[in-house]
Structures are given as C-alpha cells and as structure tokens.
C-alpha cells in the first residue's frame, strides 16, 4: 500500500485516538446501519464505505491489532509475519516482512515517515510487547439488523384523537396504532417491522416520521395551540361572551371590556394532548374587525358615537417630534 493510500481508521469511524472500546462499538454500529447494503441497494459509494467501516472496526476493536496500528500505521499488519525480514539491533525480536527493507530500525511509523521526508529523527531504544492471542469477531452475528424509515401525513383530527393506519410492507400488512397527540416531527418506532438482515435474518425496526396537514384555523406555538378570533368594535369596547372553536368542540369565552386588537386570551386545558394525556392551552388572539357595509341605522349610530365621544387614541402622539 502506498503512503498516500493510508486509511485513518479513526477518521473512518469518526472518533478520536483515545476512544474507548464502547465508543468504537457505538460508532461502528451507527455507520454499519447507515451504509448497510440492504438499505443502499446498488449504491457503490455506500458499499465502499461499508467495507471501510468493517475494516476499521476489525482493527480497532482488537486490542493487539489496534496497538500495532497505532504504532506502525498502515504497516501494522506486516509486524510479526514470517518471510523475508530484517531485525533491528535496537528492537530484537521484532520481525518485519517488508521485502528487504529494515523497518525494525524505526521506533514507529512516524519515525519512518520523518526519515522519508528528510526530517530530523532522534532515535532511541524502544521495546515492544508481542501477543500470540488474536481476538476474532463474528461480524455477521454482531451486525445490527437494518432499520428503515417512512413518513405519514395525518389530519389534525387524526393526530388529536389518535388513529389506526395500515401499511403494506412487501408481502406483509402491518396495522399501526398512532396515539393521540402526534405532531409534525413526531417519530413513531414500530419494533421488528423493518427489513431483514441478509446476514443474520433478524429484522430491524421501522420508524415513521409524522407530519400534519396544515389546519385553516389552529396552529402550533410550542406545545400550545394558537388561533385568531375576530371580534366587533362593540364587543371590544363593552365586552361580550362568544362561542369559540376548540379541538373538541365549541366553548363559551368571556371577552372583558376594553380589550385591544392583538391581545391574547388563554383557554386552559383546551390545547393539544401531551404524552401524559394532559392537555396544553389554547391561546386565542383577538382581532377587532370593522364592518365594511353599514346600513342606515348603523351609519347613524356610529356618527352619533363619533360626535359624542371624547376618546382620543392618539393623544400621546401630540408631543412626538424629532
């Protein structure tokens, strides 16, 4: 292997050189699932990455191989092999199968590279431990079964009340119960309904990403529902009791006298379902709407009100200047 072909197995798995065995295993499982051939049929790049990930895991999960790899880099596998070899006087017992080249004279791979590049190298006597035990890993059995993902779009009614959906996965029909309170971005795990591994035969899980169709009235603001309620000028001035929609039907809401357009009123416990099966709140923003087509009586009364009223909403603007 040429120097430029060297693969940094730590970089392949996306971990640092001090990673623990558990971190190596976790990184491997994540990438193996991502690039698994069962989930990337016909993708040559994914196939190549899958092989790299397995190659990196094979070396870094074996303590002896990892020690040699850390010490000798891409030539770690040459250490200890029989064949044409040279032994270093400063490293007795270390046999290097690398043609007629005496690799044993270098303390580690970095020393070798430094000399190739003409860098100064201060060599000292180093000692190396050898191991006759080699851990073997059955990758087929350790390989996590592949998961799959899908998406489903629900109406607000289906998401609020909960619903049952039916899917056809290959030759299998799967019924899924979606509980009350699903929102856009919710993710539902269906255990054991993913594809089967071509190696172990085990089935992975199916993840459903949920989206909601937009609603013409209700919207989400965090966990709460929000909506806009139109009111008349008279209702804003005098107060009123009006019927307003909620997810489970209309309720009466009192509007206090003297409210402003843009002011919000809260209906506690009339919002969306939480996982705890409690309800969030419904926040209603008031919007004062003026009539556009007045009849003669309305026109007369508004004129009388205008003439009789001393209210000036722009009084505070009298002293505004640059």
Going along the chain from its start, the domains and CATH numbers come out as 3-140 (1.10.287.110), 147-212 (2.60.260.20), 219-308 (2.60.260.20)
Query: Which residue has 């899958």 as its token pair?
Result: 50
Record the tokens describing residue 12, joined without a space.
């392949």
DSSP codes joined into one string, 29-48: HHHHHHT-GGGSTT-HHHHH
pLDDT at 26: 87
pLDDT for position 227: 98
pLDDT at 86 over 70: no
Mean pLDDT of the 116-121 span: 47
What percent of the chain stands above pLDDT 90? 41
Tokens of 309: 């009223």
pTM of this prediction? Answer: 0.55
Which has more pLDDT, 235 or 88? Answer: 235
Residues 127-140, mean pLDDT to the nearest whole number: 40
* Contact (CB, 8 A) for 109 and 121: no
| DSSP state letter for 268 | T
φ, ψ of residue 21 in degrees (nearest 5): -65, -35
What average pLDDT does the segment 208-218 reach? 95
Alpha-carbon distances, residue 152 vs 122, 170, 214, 271, 296 (angstroms):
64, 17, 14, 23, 54
């Amino acid at each position: 292997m040429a120097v430029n072909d060297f693969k940094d197995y730590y970089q392949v798995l996306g971990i640092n050189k001090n990673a623990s065995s558990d971190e190596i295993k976790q990184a491997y499982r994540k990438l193996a699932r991502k690039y698994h051939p069962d989930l990337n049929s016909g993708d040559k790049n994914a196939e190549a990455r899958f092989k790299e990930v397995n190659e990196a895991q094979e070396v870094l999960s074996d303590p002896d191989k990892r020690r040699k790899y850390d010490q000798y880099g891409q030539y770690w596998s040459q250490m200890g092999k029989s064949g044409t070899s040279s032994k270093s006087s400063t490293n007795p017992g270390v046999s290097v199968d690398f043609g007629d080249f005496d690799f044993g004279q270098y303390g580690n791979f970095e020393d070798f590279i430094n000399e190739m590049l003409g860098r100064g190298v201060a060599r000292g006597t180093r000692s190396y431990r050898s191991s006759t035990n080699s851990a073997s890993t059955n990758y087929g059995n350790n390989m996590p079964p592949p998961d799959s993902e899908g998406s489903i779009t629900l109406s607000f009614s289906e998401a609020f009340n909960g619903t049952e959906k039916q899917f056809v996965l290959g030759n299998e029909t799967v019924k899924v119960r979606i509980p009350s309170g699903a929102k856009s971005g919710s993710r539902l795990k269906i255990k054991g309904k993913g594809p089967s591994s071509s190696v172990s035969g085990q089935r992975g899980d199916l993840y459903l990403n949920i989206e909601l169709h937009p609603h013409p009235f209700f919207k989400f603001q965090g966990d709460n529902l929000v909506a806009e309620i139109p009111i008349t000028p008279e209702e804003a001035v005098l107060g009123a009791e009006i019927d307003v929609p909620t997810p489970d039907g209309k309720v009466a809401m009192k509007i206090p006298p003297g409210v402003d357009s843009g002011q919000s009123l809260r209906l506690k416990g009339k919002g969306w379902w939480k996982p705890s099966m409690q309800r969030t709140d419904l926040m209603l923003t008031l919007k004062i709407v003026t009539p556009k087509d007045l009849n003669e009586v309305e026109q007369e009364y508004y004129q009388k009100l205008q003439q009789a009223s001393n209210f000036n909403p722009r009084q505070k603007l009298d002293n505004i200047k640059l």
